[in-house]
Chain A
Amino acid sequence: MSKTINIPLGSQHIALLEPVRFSFECENEKIIGVEADVGYVHRGVELACTTKFKFKQVGYVVARVCGLCAIIHSTCYTLAVEELMELEVPKKASYLRLIANELDRVHSHLLCLSHTAENAGFEALFMRTMKDRELVMETQEAMTGNRVQFDYVSIGGVNKDISVEIEGSMRSKLALLKQKVAEIEELFLNNWSLSLKYKGVGVITKESAYRCSVLGPLARASGVDFDVRNESDYLPYAELGFKSIVMQDGDIHARNIVRLKEIFESIRLIEAALDGMPDGDIASKVRGTPEGESYMRVEAPRGECFYYLKASKGQYLDRVRIKTPTFGSVPGMIEALKGQNYADVAAIVASFDPCLSCTAR
């Protein structure tokens, strides 16, 4: 006769980067039920954005929603305000925003890959990936002035142009990063112990991904070709020939490979943006105040990030609604954990790349 036991994981756990609590109902080693609690780091950002800060300051506040995708949040908010104010943004600013967004994606994907390697017990690969990630962190610092909280995107454009020296340094660092990521990809593709740990584990089926509105690399690894960079013209991705990466297996291995291939695509986009960088201003003059409703979304490293704004010509916004990709993917994650061995939980959760500070806001 099988025995059912309940095992909690988190909110603080060695395998988790941020606080989340799972409660597993297990039959021997097999997980038969999962519950997730995500709200441990709620900071009231949406409330602060409508009561404490004026609309011109909110872009810098929402950048604090998340340390990993700060630029994504400020880009999404800024685009929404610009839509309400019918502001024309210089083409050069859009190119610079695209570069900053893609650099953010590269460093976030590398962090996730290093963490999944660590959870598979591959400490050397974890350290190597984190070391190579420094190349993109240094590039971000040179471009925006900071490693984490960039404050680079502003209403009307961006805050800083890139000099010839920074462009040269960016190109050489990205060329080196491409070589390094190719070596990491070789390990993820062919290392026997990683394959044993990842292939066929934590599967999200295509049907399940559609049904649960799973987002980002999680969806694309399950055969769902959904990427906001294709679905919206918020930045000049179509001009630069963006191609989404899709795999079919839906397991941890597929999620890792989608992220690795997306790093190459991001680097290609950055190089194409540098090659075709238009001349002109980096910001337009901002006059007036926003009015109306705006629905805006951008592709964050973990999937669709959505902002809803409502304004009525005042300095303070009436409503700021933030929907983050991890929050929307939680039901899909629960589906993926059901039926798995409890011993694989740490690796599966790491492969989701959950961002809880985004989620709880």
Chain B
Amino acid sequence: MKLAKEPINIEDIRAKITEFYDSSIWHFVCINGLFENDELEIQWSFTKIGAKDEWKVFYAKVPENYLLPSLSDILPTAKMYEGELRDLLGANFEGSVKGMFIEVDGLENPLRIKR
């Protein structure tokens, strides 16, 4: 497996993905999130179509309540992952509201586990 993880400033993510993403070359896998040391790490994962397991992952670390830019106009599927991470991890993506998986009055950010 060939994995290239590239750190990115969150303010630059929209411009970077717009420049990088060509849907006939790269397959958008998903948006992933982690919560560590009171910080959120958001990962945007892609694989190269036709190449055996060639991964490209952009990641940004932000404070826990940071307003994250939405990429749903560039990657239509991103809307789903942003909604999911909003519910489970409390990732505050622009335009996403609680309620996809967890009721509006349900648990807050269940995946923010402090170890």
Contact = CB atoms under 8 A, between A and B. Distances in A.
Nearest to B45: A295
Contacts of B84: 327
A212 B77 contact: yes
Contact of B111 (A37, A47, A212, A330): A47
A232 B53 contact: yes
Interface in B23-57: 23-24, 27-30, 32-34, 36, 43, 45, 47, 49-53, 55, 57
A297 B45 CA distance: 12
Given A39-B100, A213-B75, A295-B57, A47 B110 contact: yes
A contacts with B: majority SS: mixed
A318 B80 contact: no
B57 A323 contact: no
Contact of A46 (B45, B55, B88, B102): B88
A308 B88 CA distance: 15
B63 to A, nearest CB: 19
Given A44-B110, A295-B57, A297-B29, A327 B88 contact: no
Contacts, number: 83
Contacts of A46: 88, 111
Contact of A231 (B34, B49, B81): B49
A34 interface: no
Given A295-B45, A306-B30, A233 B52 contact: yes
Contact of A51 (B45, B76, B80, B113): B113
Interface in A287-318: 295, 297, 304, 306, 308, 310, 318
Q: How many B residues are at the interface, by size bracket?
A: 35 or more
A283 B3 CA distance: 27
Nearest to A233: B52
B113 A306 contact: no
Interface in A192-238: 210-213, 226, 231-233
A34 B28 CA distance: 23
B30 A42 contact: no
Contacts of A210: 23-24
Interface of B: 1, 3, 23-24, 27-30, 32-34, 36, 43, 45, 47, 49-53, 55, 57, 75-77, 79-81, 84, 87-88, 99-102, 110-111, 113, 115
Given A42-B101, A212-B76, 8 more contacts: A51-B113, A231-B52, A297-B47, A306-B30, A319-B111, A327-B84, A330-B77, A360-B101
